[in-house]
């Protein structure tokens, strides 16, 4: 896997398989501090080793390879939290890749689960919360190709507007 979006997909899938119903993904690009931060939290309280899949190890490896940091912790009565800070200007930092495809696929595949995706750059912030999207669509409509395409375009347009590094 060469894209952070694929690592995120694996981590989120593992969280849902383990029982999470809400996953939040926060990406913060800060070139001035030479930081590209990825934080993934979930509300799974089972605390078993379900998230130790390929995505988790690949994010850790990517962070350390760029000279960044990585942490993974269980938060009592709240779930789990992964934080990776990669060096923004490192040639070893994977591209974000098709994050809009990742989220449109996750939303269609797990319509009963919720996602929050926040992406911040020096040019602005984008927020996506499926609880808001579900107010517009019935959950079984989220897998319809036209709806998936609309969600994907919405994400892409907003990330372009804030000049996100894809």
pLDDT digits (tens, 9 = 90+) for 32-84: 999 999 999 999 876 555 556 788 899 999 999 999 999 998 887 788 899 99
pLDDT of residue 54: 85
Torsion angle (degrees, nearest 10) of CA 20, 64, 5, 153: 110
Torsion angle (degrees, nearest 10) of CA 42, 156, 132, 55: -10
Q: Is 119 exposed, middle or buried (0-12, 13-18, 19+ CB in 10 A)?
A: buried
Averaged pLDDT for residues 13-41: 95
Torsion angle (degrees, nearest 10) of CA 158, 129, 115, 104: -40
Which residue, among 8, 2, 4, has the nearest Cα to 105 in the 3D structure?
A: 8
End-to-end C-alpha distance for the chain, whole angstroms? 15
**Token duo for residue 66:** 């760029």
Averaged pLDDT for residues 92-119: 94
3-state secondary structure at position 57: helix
Distance CA 124, CA 118 (A): 11
Inter-helix orientation angle 54-65/4-18, to 10°: 140
H helix or E strand, kind and range, residue 154: helix 145-161
User: In the chain, where are the structural domains located?
Assistant: 4-161
Average pLDDT along the chain: 90
- Would you tell me which CATH number, out of the four given (4.10.280, 1.10.3470, 2.60.40, 3.30.565), belongs to the domain 4-161? 3.30.565
Averaged pLDDT for residues 94-121: 94
């Amino acid at each position: 896997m060469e894209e952070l979006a694929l690592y995120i997909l694996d981590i989120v899938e593992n969280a849902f398989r383990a029982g999470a119903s809400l996953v939040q993904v926060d990406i913060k690009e800060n070139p001035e501090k030479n930081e590209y931060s990825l934080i993934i939290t979930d509300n799974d309280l089972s605390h078993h080793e379900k998230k130790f899949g390929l995505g988790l190890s690949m994010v850790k490896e990517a962070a350390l390879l760029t000279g960044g940091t990585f942490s993974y912790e269980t938060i009592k009565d709240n779930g789990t939290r992964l934080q990776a800070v990669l060096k923004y200007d490192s040639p070893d930092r994977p591209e974000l890749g098709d994050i809009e495809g990742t989220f449109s696929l996750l939303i269609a595949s797990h319509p009963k689960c919720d996602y929050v995706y926040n992406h911040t750059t020096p040019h602005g912030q984008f927020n996506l919360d499926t609880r808001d999207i579900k107010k517009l669509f019935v959950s079984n409509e989220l897998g319809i190709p036209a709806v998936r395409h609309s969600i994907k375009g919405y994400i892409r347009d907003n990330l372009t507007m804030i000049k996100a590094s894809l």
